């Protein structure tokens, strides 16, 4: 439905988006994820028609969007820098796009009622936007973006301003809502939790290019390379020599369950795969840090040889900082990375 074909966008000489090709299917929810400055917003702005494309093509429903102005592209936008209109009430904000597109007043009013119910703000038409909470304002912005029934909805850090618990709740609601409406969504976020919870597919960007594209499970289980693994927050990444089902690492020999590429490689050991044993078993370590993470505890282990290791253990019976422990590795949590 949306096709980006080798799209490049430059500011001056510098490409912020560097030859990106990406297909988004009808009804698909795609999250573009990446560190600040990796080109996510620029990509979205190029699709929206707010930023000229320097090379390549953008097609929506088979139509080349070159030369089509933003308001004629049939895309809905919910961008951070697009504030609600403070002098219009909630209804006036939601109906804005409809009126612009020439919808009759009565039809627009009906649509606004329907949309406010949809985003969980039934009957809020006459409320002033200044009196709404942050979460309510986001819902109004969403209703406004959905009002003209866009072919494609684009969200830029849609929940960026909200606190964590509200964000986690809204993201679930959004996913359900988009599923019900059959909306195709291209969302941009720097928050991996949000991206993974919202999307059918995650696209990780690095320096204007796609570092990895896959389902949340694929990307989480098999990060493409060290950059993606570290971006997802994995710390146990080292160079290793892989041969068959075994890798020589700075922590000694580690079993590898999934056969993959051999030779000099980056190796990831997920924290759940670093098993804590009584001192004297496996790799000798001191517990250097201990962070409470709700259902589990994240330990920082300082081995006698090799760099520090993160280990995720159950809260009950977790060792204390300063304890001596052994570490063993679970081959099923070891991933040989590309690059």
- Candidates 38, 137, 213, 266: give the one binding ligand ADP (CB under 6 A): 38
Question: With binding defined as CB under 6 A, does residue 93 bind ligand ADP?
Answer: no
Question: With binding defined as CB under 6 A, does residue 36 bind ligand ADP?
Answer: yes
- Two tokens, residue 272: 């759940």
Pick the closer one to ligand ADP by CB: 34 or 271: 34
Applying the rule CB under 6 A, the residues between 283 and 312 that interact with ligand ADP are none
Question: With binding defined as CB under 6 A, does residue 278 bind ligand ADP?
Answer: no
Distance of alpha carbon 202 from the chain centroid? 6
**With CB under 6 A as the contact rule, which of the stretches 20-28, 36-44, 219-227, 330-338 interacts with ligand ADP?**
36-44
Among 124, 186, 192, 193, which Cα is nearest to 151's? Answer: 186
Question: With binding defined as CB under 6 A, does residue 73 bind ligand ADP?
Answer: no
* Distance of closest approach, residue 6 Cβ to ligand ADP, in angstroms: 18
Pick the closer one to ligand ADP by CB: 39 or 282: 39
Question: With binding defined as CB under 6 A, does residue 11 bind ligand ADP?
Answer: yes
CB within 8 Å of 252: residues ≥ 6 apart: 283, 305, 306
CB within 8 Å of 75: residues ≥ 6 apart: 47, 48, 49, 60, 150, 151, 152, 153, 154
Question: Mapping DSSP to helix (H, G, I), strand (E, B) and coil, where does residue 9 land?
Answer: strand
Applying the rule CB under 6 A, the residues between 111 and 150 that interact with ligand ADP are none
Query: Are 169 and 136 contacting, i.e. CB atoms less than 8 angstroms apart?
Result: no
Pick the closer one to ligand ADP by CB: 42 or 312: 42
Question: Mapping DSSP to helix (H, G, I), strand (E, B) and coil, where does residue 142 land?
Answer: helix
Using left for φ > 0, alpha for ψ between -120 and 50, and beta otherwise, residue 232 falls in alpha
> How far is 285 from 306, CA to CA, in rounded Å?
10
* Distance of closest approach, residue 34 Cβ to ligand ADP, in angstroms: 5
- Candidates 20, 24, 30, 41: give the one binding ligand ADP (CB under 6 A): 41
- Residues near ligand ADP (CB under 6 A), total: 10
**With CB under 6 A as the contact rule, which of the stretches 40-48, 56-64, 128-136, 325-333 interacts with ligand ADP?**
40-48
Question: With binding defined as CB under 6 A, does residue 39 bind ligand ADP?
Answer: yes
> How far is 88 from 277, CA to CA, in rounded Å?
63
- Two tokens, residue 286: 């001191």
Question: With binding defined as CB under 6 A, does residue 183 bind ligand ADP?
Answer: no
Residues found near ligand ADP in the complex (CB under 6 A): 11, 16, 34, 36-42
């Amino acid at each position: 439905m949306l096709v980006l074909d080798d799209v490049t966008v430059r500011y001056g000489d510098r490409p912020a988006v560097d030859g990106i090709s990406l297909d988004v299917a009808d009804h698909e929810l795609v999250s573009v994820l990446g560190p600040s400055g990796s080109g996510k917003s620029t990509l979205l702005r190029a699709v929206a028609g707010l930023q000229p494309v320097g090379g390549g093509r953008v097609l929506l429903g088979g139509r080349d969007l070159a030369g089509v102005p933003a308001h004629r592209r049939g895309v809905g936008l919910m961008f951070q820098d697009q504030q609600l209109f403070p002098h219009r009430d909630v209804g006036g904000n939601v109906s804005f796009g409809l009126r612009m597109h020439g919808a009759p007043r009565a039809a627009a009013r009906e649509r606004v009622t329907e949309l406010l119910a949809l985003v969980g703000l039934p009957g809020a038409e006459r409320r002033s936007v200044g009196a709404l909470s942050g979460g309510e304002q986001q819902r109004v912005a969403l209703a406004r973006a959905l009002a003209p029934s866009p072919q494609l909805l684009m969200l830029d850090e849609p929940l960026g301003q909200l606190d964590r618990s509200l964000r986690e709740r809204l993201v679930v609601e959004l996913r359900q809502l988009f599923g019900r409406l059959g909306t195709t969504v291209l969302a941009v976020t720097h928050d991996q939790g949000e991206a993974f919870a919202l999307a059918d597919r995650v696209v990780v960007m690095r320096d204007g290019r796609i570092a990895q594209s896959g389902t949340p499970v694929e990307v989480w289980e098999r990060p493409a390379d060290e950059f993606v693994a570290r971006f997802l927050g994995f710390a146990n990444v080292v160079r290793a020599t892989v041969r068959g089902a075994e890798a020589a690492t700075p922590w000694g020999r580690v079993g590898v369950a999934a056969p993959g590429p051999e030779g000099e490689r980056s190796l990831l050991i997920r924290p759940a795969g670093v098993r804590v044993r009584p001192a004297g078993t496996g790799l000798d370590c001191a517990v250097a840090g201990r962070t409470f993470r709700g259902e589990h505890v994240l330990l920082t282990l300082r081995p006698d040889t090799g760099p520090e290791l993160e280990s995720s253990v159950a809260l009950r019976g977790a060792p204390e900082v300063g304890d001596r422990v052994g570490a063993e590795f679970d081959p099923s949590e070891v991933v040989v990375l590309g690059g």
